[in-house]
Chain A
Amino acid sequence: DTAVSQTPKYLVTQMGNDKSIKCEQNLGHDTMYWYKQDSKKFLKIMFSYNNKELIINETVPNRFSPKSPDKAHLNLHINSLELGDSAVYFCASSQALPRGNQPQHFGDGTRLSIL
């Protein structure tokens, strides 16, 4: 059983298009995240949700809109895709907010390539 699953695994699309990435966790966790990993492997937080409530929005362009229909799902919609959006996007979850030592469980990533 996959703990954190995200789809699609690969996404190749034209500049200017709108696309969505879906994420689901079956761990019963309260908190979910979206991270962006660039070509240099730097992993940066984009958003986090706790029990469907937005907790962190790390100055991400408003072309990126997360949506959490329930605490097991956190989807990411991206409007008007730009070349600089090419990266690997990771969804993650943790039992609670990472104030202390909460481990985060990551999906396998969505590789987004903008042509």
Chain B
Amino acid sequence: TQLLEQSPQFLSIQEGENLTVYCNSSSVFSSLQWYRQEPGEGPVLLVTVVTGGEVKKLKRLTFQFGDARKDSSLHITAAQPGDTGLYLCAGAQGGNKLVFGAGTILRVKS
């Protein structure tokens, strides 16, 4: 059983569609980060959310941290092929480490 559950595991959509990826836990996190990983490369940080209920926008990407700081979502508007990749959420519990979810593999077809 993983501390952070991500859903869906795989998502294949057409260019221009909207999508939402979820990151859920029964534990509270002091902060939560979202990373994107492309094939052959390491994960790259997209955003960090810290406050319960916080919403952050990064161009067509909208990130939300749940009010209870146990879950988060990533919404992509009008997806593009360049959005293709593995999306990872990671939570900090104050134990000097990040715990990663298993990731969502997104494929955007043109």
Contacts and interface: CB of A to CB of B under 8 A. Distances in A.
A5 to B, nearest CB: 11
Contacts of B96: 48, 55-56, 97-99
Given A45-B97, A109-B42, A101 B102 contact: no
Contacts of B88: 43
B26 to A, nearest CB: 18
Q: Is the interface of A mostly helix, strand, loop or mixed?
A: loop
Given A56-B97, A99-B30, A100-B92, A90 B42 contact: yes
Interface stretch (B14-22, B43-51, B74-82): B43-51
Interface string B6-30: 0000000000000000000000001
A4 B33 CA distance: 19
Interface string A19-53: 00000000000000000000011111100100000
Interface of B: 2, 30-31, 33, 37, 40-45, 48, 50, 86, 88, 92, 94, 96-100, 102-103, 105
